Structure 1
């Protein structure tokens, strides 16, 4: 049988993707007219540009309702399974991830959906697991935020165990547990990839333990690089204790404002993220994160309120192409193996990043030239 590998499996020291192109405004909580329009046509164009440039992946957000504010931030979001299926058919090498809420998607149905998508893309699908934090979305869909914090992770473990079993055998099996009861289930065809890459974001102790056991790429909070470095060291110690076979990859997300001069970049950052921020939406998001995610207390979120509109709490990569590369080197030296990039307008800004920043990253040895 032919072996298939995702571009995420390449040997680049620092992997790059595009984040949230399926969402109106991307991650910039701004009112500027040029903010991202998430039409299918725009998604297709930027996905193919990223593919040609050699980026490793496209990562969507999973949203079922937006936030308050003048822009109705994230009310307009393309659903990630159908989005990823179409992009897998329209690209050649780049990995395309689906963002899935474990308590909203039946694992048997999802296993077949992702396997089908893997065949569509020739072995390039990925899974981003969300175990639940946004109470207003769950209540909008007819239920409480799924179980207690502890039960959500027990549920997610069973959910993932079922999916992996469906991907590894064509033999029907029964499953009878606290959260799932299935009879003679199976999913054929199996995925083309031997191991579909799995992403997850976790901040709690339970979440990190779950990630160490189960996922390939763990999203890390990057509000402070020194804290990030210490968090990664701590998780790596837990990896050794759990005798994990394959090292966990640590990634972040970053907003990019890249211009020929630092002054131009700073001026544009201030223009879109301060003068034209959608502060009502910002405050709504911060309140939800602080009250529901339990990762960072609201007092700490409020310290970063002024920076939040620029990229939804992502790490700033702001300045000239050389400044951007310096920032990426700092992320790498802190222990990250990649970051997911966002822009105010991906189509307007990514070409300059591709032409000016990517060659510099290759020159410093963190990436090889992978363009089609």
Structure 2
């Protein structure tokens, strides 16, 4: 998956970049679409437009996404919209298959965009019940639009030689929590997160900003399967403290157990 920001990346360039990546990866490319809310990041590059409010950024992103999709399938594209104009545009190569699109819009407008325009809605919640509700809401809206949607969420995996060892590691992370740093990071994501009783802040105060699976490999496999089922999810983005080691453990010890359950 590659992440591109609609207010920063030209849609024609974006379409060509992802199509090229799709060829390099043998048809495995995916695109994470971000409307852009991190004012501090964009302002330093002169890319923040004060005239675009939250919903307008999604209106722009909708045009952007439509252009990208057309450039992946059509030989020549003309488009005259409110935010973009392209004339007799040719983009080669075409992707080997239409890359999967994902978006994590959390607002009402963002959620609607994610379901309408992408293949995967990236969701979250304070707990499993909230995440399940968001997943079912996305799937219900998709059904009304006569389409299907997958839902993914984030999950931090903390593994150890035993359940007790894994829990000890998790507690070490909790004890080392720097709440000010975490809330500062959330503030940089758009300021509206900081100090509010939302899912990200609630989880951050517990040291983890995602669903968490803690235990020995067998326990982790069981908890991952349960999380997928209980939250009506189609997939998870896994987070590890050490990705090189974590991915190896996942592939060697946890994934085979999950495949055996399928």
TM-score, normalised relative to structure 2: 0.91
Q: Secondary structure at the match of 2:83?
A: coil
Q: Structure 1, residues 193-251: CA drift from partner, whole Å, max 9, x if none?
A: 1x21111101111111111111111111142111111222222221222122xx21100
Query: What residue number does 2:218 align with?
Result: 322
| Contact 1:134 1:292 (C-alpha < 8 Å) held by counterparts | no
For 1:176 and 1:102, locate their aligned partners in 2 and report how far apart those are by CA, in whole Å: 17
Deviation of 1:158 (Å): 0.6
Query: What residue number does 2:69 align with?
Result: 164
Where does 1:25-174 land on structure 2 (aligned, <5 Å)?
A: 97-144=1-48, 147-171=52-76, 173-174=77-78
| Contact 2:38 2:188 (C-alpha < 8 Å) held by counterparts | yes
Are 1:298 and 2:201 matched, yes or no?
no
For 2:60 and 2:128, locate their aligned partners in 1 and report how far apart those are by CA, in whole Å: 32
For 1:346 and 1:168, locate their aligned partners in 2 and report how far apart those are by CA, in whole Å: 36
Query: What residue number does 2:186 align with?
Result: 286
For 2:41 and 2:177, locate their aligned partners in 1 and report how far apart those are by CA, in whole Å: 24
Query: What residue number does 1:243 align with?
Result: 146
Query: What residue number does 1:339 align with?
Result: 236
TM-score, normalised relative to structure 1: 0.65
Q: Secondary structure at the match of 1:298?
A: coil
Q: Secondary structure at the match of 2:71?
A: helix
For 1:118 and 1:289, locate their aligned partners in 2 and report how far apart those are by CA, in whole Å: 29
Q: Secondary structure at the match of 2:197?
A: helix
Aligned partner of 1:185 among 89, 113, 121: 89
CA RMSD of aligned residues (A): 2.0
Q: How many residues in Structure 1 have an aligned counterpart in Structure 2? A: 259
Structure number with greater CO (CA < 8 Å, separation at least 6) is 1
- Assess, with a 3 A threshold, how the Cα gap between structure 1 residues 198 and 297 changes in structure 2: closer, same or farther: farther
| Contact 2:221 2:254 (C-alpha < 8 Å) held by counterparts | yes
Aligned partner of 1:307 among 206, 220, 230: 206
Q: Secondary structure at the match of 1:267?
A: helix
Query: What residue number does 2:117 align with?
Result: 214
| Contact 1:290 1:298 (C-alpha < 8 Å) held by counterparts | no
Aligned partner of 1:204 among 107, 127, 150: 107
Q: Secondary structure at the match of 1:291?
A: coil
Q: Structure 2 unaligned segments of length 5 or more: list them.
A: none
Deviation of 1:317 (Å): 1.0
Aligned partner of 1:230 among 113, 133, 136: 133
Deviation of 1:306 (Å): 2.9
For 1:318 and 1:240, locate their aligned partners in 2 and report how far apart those are by CA, in whole Å: 35
Q: Secondary structure at the match of 1:198?
A: strand
